[in-house]
């Protein structure tokens, strides 16, 4: 089994240590490590089925199932830092559209991936589910990118 070298993990501040949840997304640190296979294109998926944020008007909690797919170039995101970044939205007031796109743009800024898409499958607010989708463009040819696999909201149906 190939282990990460000291060079690859140098500068990581959260891995292997207790880390407090950031108070908000602006305070959250996203860490990255070198892509272990920069010579090939492959898809990385993160699913956050219990993502929460706050309605900016009422302060009530909003819930979503987020699915992030990306094709790395030089960098991959360190998963603990991503978990804490997503958790930092728990007390953050923003509309569904803002949360979803802000997450994607931050990842693009940190990683400069070959391609990234996000699906924000939000549970109903006011009786209407709001789903938000965005991607950086067309994915590279020849990379298997599975369907996000999240069914549209059907209530009790």
pLDDT digits (tens, 9 = 90+) for 83-108: 999 999 999 999 999 999 999 999 99
CATH code at position 102? 3.30.1130.10
Q: Is residue 122 part of a domain?
A: yes
Q: Is residue 103 part of a domain?
A: yes
Q: How confident is the model at residue 156 (pLDDT cuts 50, 70, 90)?
A: low
Q: Is residue 6 part of a domain?
A: no
Are the C-beta atoms of 88 and 102 separated by less than 8 Å? Answer: no
Active site residues: 55, 62
CA distance 86 to 88: 5
* pLDDT per position as a tens digit, 27-54: 999 999 999 999 999 999 999 999 999 9
pLDDT at 9: 58
Q: Is residue 61 part of a domain?
A: yes
CA distance 79 to 154: 31
Q: Is residue 60 part of a domain?
A: yes
Q: How many domains does the chain have?
A: 1
Which domain covers residue 55, as residue numbers? 37-135
Are the C-beta atoms of 115 and 73 separated by less than 8 Å? Answer: no
Say if residue 126's pLDDT is above 90.
no
Q: Is residue 70 part of a domain?
A: yes
CA distance 144 to 110: 23
Q: Is residue 144 part of a domain?
A: no
Q: Is residue 88 part of a domain?
A: yes
DSSP one-letter code for 153:
P
């Amino acid at each position: 089994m190939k282990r990460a070298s000291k060079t690859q993990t140098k500068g990581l501040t959260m891995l292997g240590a207790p880390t407090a949840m950031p108070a908000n997304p602006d305070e959250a640190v996203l860490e990255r490590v070198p892509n272990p296979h920069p010579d090939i294109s492959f898809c990385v998926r993160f699913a956050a089925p219990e993502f929460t944020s706050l309605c900016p008007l009422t302060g009530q909690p909003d819930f979503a199932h987020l699915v992030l797919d990306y094709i790395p170039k030089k960098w991959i995101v360190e998963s603990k830092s991503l978990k804490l970044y997503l958790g930092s939205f728990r007390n953050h007031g923003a509309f569904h559209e803002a949360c979803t796109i802000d997450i994607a743009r931050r990842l693009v800024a940190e990683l400069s991936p070959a391609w990234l898409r996000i699906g924000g499958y939000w549970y109903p607010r006011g009786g209407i589910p709001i789903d938000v989708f965005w991607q950086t463009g067309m994915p590279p040819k020849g990379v298997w990118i599975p369907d996000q696999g999240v069914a549209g909201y059907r209530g009790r149906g």
